[in-house]
Chains A and B, each alone.
Chain A
Amino acid sequence: MPNPIYIILILLLPLASFLIMGIFGRNHIKNASGIISTTLLFITACLAFYVAYGYFLEFGKVNGVYQKLIPFKLTWLEFSKGVSIDLGILLDPITAMMLVVVTLISLMVHIYSLGYMKGEERFSTYYAFLGLFTFSMLGLVVASNIFQIYMFWELVGVSSFLLIGFYFEKPSAVAASKKAFIVTRFADLGFLIGILILSFNAGTLDFQTLIQRLTSPESAELKSAVASSFLGISTLSWGMILVFMGGAGKSAMFPLHIWLPDAMEGPTPVSALIHAATMVVAGVFLVARLFPVFAISSPHALEMVGNVGAISALFAAVIACTQTDIKRVLAFSTMSQIGFMMFALGVSKYGGEEGLGYTASMFHLFTHALFKALLFLGAGAVIHYVHSNDMKDMGGLRKVMPITHLTFLIACLAIAGVPPFAGFFSKEEILLAAFHHNKMIYWIALLTSGLTAFYMFRLYFNIFWNKEHHAHGEHHGEGGFVMMMPLVLLAAGAAFAGFIPFGKFVSSDGLPLESEFHLQFSIVPVVLGLTGIFIAMLFYKKQNDKSDKIALALNGFYKATYNKFYFDEIYLFITKKIIFNFIGRPAAWFDKNIVDGMVNAFGNNTLAVSEKIKSFQSGKVQQYAIYFLSGVIGLAVLFIYLWK
Chain B
Amino acid sequence: MNEFITLMKPELLLMAMIFILLISKLGVGFNQSNLMKLIQGMLLINFIAGFFMNGEGQLFDNMYHTSSLIVLEKNILNLGMVLISFLFTDWFKKCDHLAEVFVLMLTALLGMFYMISSGNLLMFYLGLEMATIPVAAAATFNLEKKVSSEAAMKMILSSAFSSGIMLFGISLIYGAMGTLDFSEIPALLNGDSLQVMAFIFLFTAFAFKMSVVPFHLWTADVYEGSPIGITAFLSVISKGAIAFVFVSTLYKVFQPFHEIWYNMIMVLSVMTMLVGNLFALRQQNIKRFLAFSSIAQVGFILIGVSSNSIQGATSVIYFVLVYIFSNLAAFGVAGLVSFFTGKENIDDYKNFYKTNPLLSWIFALALFSLSGIPPTAGFFGKLFLLTSGASNGNYAFLIIAALNMMISLFYYLKVVRAMFMDKNENPILPIQINFATKIALFVCGGGIVLAGFFGFVFDYIQALVK
Verify if B464 is at the interface (C-beta below 8 Å from A): no
Instruction: Judge if B201 is at the interface, Cβ distance under 8 Å.
Output: yes
CA distance A466 to B357 in the complex (A): 58
Q: Which of A600-644 contact B (CB under 8 A)?
A: 602-603, 606-607, 609-611, 613-614, 616-617, 619, 621, 623-625, 627-628, 630-632, 634-636, 638-640, 643
Known: A638-B267, A639-B264. A631 touches B214 (CB 8 A): yes
C-beta contact mask, B270-306 vs A, less than 8 Å → 1, else 0? 0000010111011000000000000000000000000
Given contacts A607-B281, A611-B282, A617-B279, contact A639 B157 (CB under 8 A): no
Q: Tell me, yes or no, whether B182 is within 8 Å of chain A by CB.
A: no
| Chain B 446-457 interface 0/1 with A at a Cβ cutoff of 8 Å (1 = within) | 000000000100
Known A-B contacts A628-B158, A639-B260; the reply to A613 vs B278 at CB < 8 A is yes
Determine the residue in chain A with the shortest Cβ distance to B193.
Answer: A640
Residues of A contacting B214 in the complex (Cβ-Cβ under 8 angstroms) = 627-628, 630-631, 634
- In the complex, what residues of B have CB within 8 A of residue A643's CB? 263
Residues of A within 8 A of B264 (CB): 635, 639
Q: How far, in Å, is B167 (CB) from chain A's closest CB?
A: 13
B20 on interface, CB distance cutoff 8 Å: no
Stretch at the interface among B85-93, B129-137, B216-224, B244-252: B216-224
A632 touches B275 (CB 8 A): no
Bound: A591/B203 CA distance, A = 45
* A635-B204 in contact (CB<8A): yes
In the complex, B148 has a CB within 8 A of chain A: no
A606 to B201, CA, bound (A): 32
B438 within 8 A of A: no
Bound: A638/B266 CA distance, A: 13
User: Contact between A77 and B455 (Cβ–Cβ < 8 Å)?
Assistant: yes
A625 with B158: CB separation less than 8 A: yes
Q: What is the number of residues of chain B that contact chain A, defined by CB distance less than 8 Å? A: 36
Q: Are B200 and A627 in contact (CB under 8 A)?
A: no
- Interface extent on A, as a size class? 20 to 34
A624 touches B158 (CB 8 A): yes
- Are B278 and A609 in contact, with the CB atoms below 8 A? yes
- Are the C-beta atoms of A632 and B221 separated by less than 8 Å? no
Chain A residues numbered 186-236 whose CB sits less than 8 Å from any CB in chain B: none
Verify B161–A631 contact, CB threshold 8 A.
Answer: no
Q: How far is the CB of A257 from chain B (nearest CB, A)?
A: 33
Instruction: Choose one: B196, B217, B277; the contact of A617 (CB below 8 Å).
Output: B217
Which residues of the partner chain A approach B281 to less than 8 Å between Cβ atoms?
606-607, 610
B158 to A621, Cβ gap below 8 A?
yes
User: Contacts A614-B282, A621-B154, A624-B158; is A632 near B204 (CB within 8 Å)?
Assistant: yes
Is there an interface contact between B407 and A632, defined as CB atoms closer than 8 Å?
A: no
Which of the residues A614, A619, A631 comes within 8 Å of B204, measured between beta carbons? A631
Known: A606-B281, A621-B154. A632 touches B217 (CB 8 A): no
Residues facing A in B193-216 (CB within 8 A) are 193, 196-197, 200-201, 203-204, 208, 214-215
Contact B275 A628 (CB under 8 A): no
Q: Which A residue's beta carbon lies closest to that of B380?
A: A77
B15 in the interface (beta carbon within 8 A) = no
User: CA–CA, A390 to B161, complex, Å?
Assistant: 86
- Residues from chain B with Cβ under 8 Å of A610 in the complex: 278-279, 281-282
**Which of A603, A621, A638 has the most chain B CB atoms closer than 10 A to its own CB?**
A621
Chain B proximity of A528: nearest CB distance (Å): 54
B340 at interface, CB cutoff 8 A: no
> Which of A607, A610, A613, A639 has the largest count of B CB atoms less than 10 A from its CB?
A639
B157: A residues at CB distance < 8 A: 621, 625
The closest CB in chain B to the CB of A643 belongs to B263
Min CB distance B62 to A, Å, is: 29
| B165 interface residue (CB < 8 Å to A) | yes
Cβ contacts B154-174/A at 8 Å (1 or 0 each): 100110011001000000000
A625/B161 contact (C-beta < 8 A), A606-B278, A640-B197 known: yes
- Docked Cα-Cα span, A634 to B282, in Å, equals 28
Contacts of B279 on A, CB cut-off 8 Å? 610, 613-614, 617
CB distance from B217 to the nearest CB of A (A): 4
Q: Which residue of A lies closest to B204 (CB)?
A: A632
Whether A606 and B161, one on each chain, are in contact in the complex, defined by CB atoms closer than 8 angstroms, is no
Known contacts A613-B275, A630-B214, A632-B201; decide if A639 and B165 are in contact (CB<8 Å).
Answer: no
Per the bound structure, the CA–CA distance linking A7 and B304 in Å amounts to 41
Query: Per-position contact with A for B32-56: 1 when CB-CB < 8 Å, else 0?
Result: 0000000000000000000000000
Q: Which of A632, A638, A640 has the most CB of B within 10 A?
A: A632
A622's nearest neighbour on chain B, judged by CB, is: B157
State whether A639 and B196 are in contact (beta carbons under 8 Å apart), knowing that A621-B157, A627-B214 are contacts in the complex.
yes
| Residue interface mask B394-435, A partner, CB < 8 A = 1 | 000000000100110010000000000000000000000000
- A residues with a Cβ closer than 8 A to B are 75-78, 602-603, 606-607, 609-611, 613-614, 616-617, 619, 621, 623-625, 627-628, 630-632, 634-636, 638-640, 643
Q: What are 8 A-B pairs at a CB distance below 8 A? A: A77-B455, A607-B281, A621-B218, A624-B217, A628-B215, A631-B214, A635-B264, A636-B197
Apart from A607-B281, A607-B282, A632-B204, what are 12 other A-B pairs with CB-CB below 8 Å? A78-B455, A613-B278, A621-B153, A625-B157, A627-B214, A628-B165, A631-B215, A632-B165, A635-B203, A638-B267, A639-B264, A640-B197
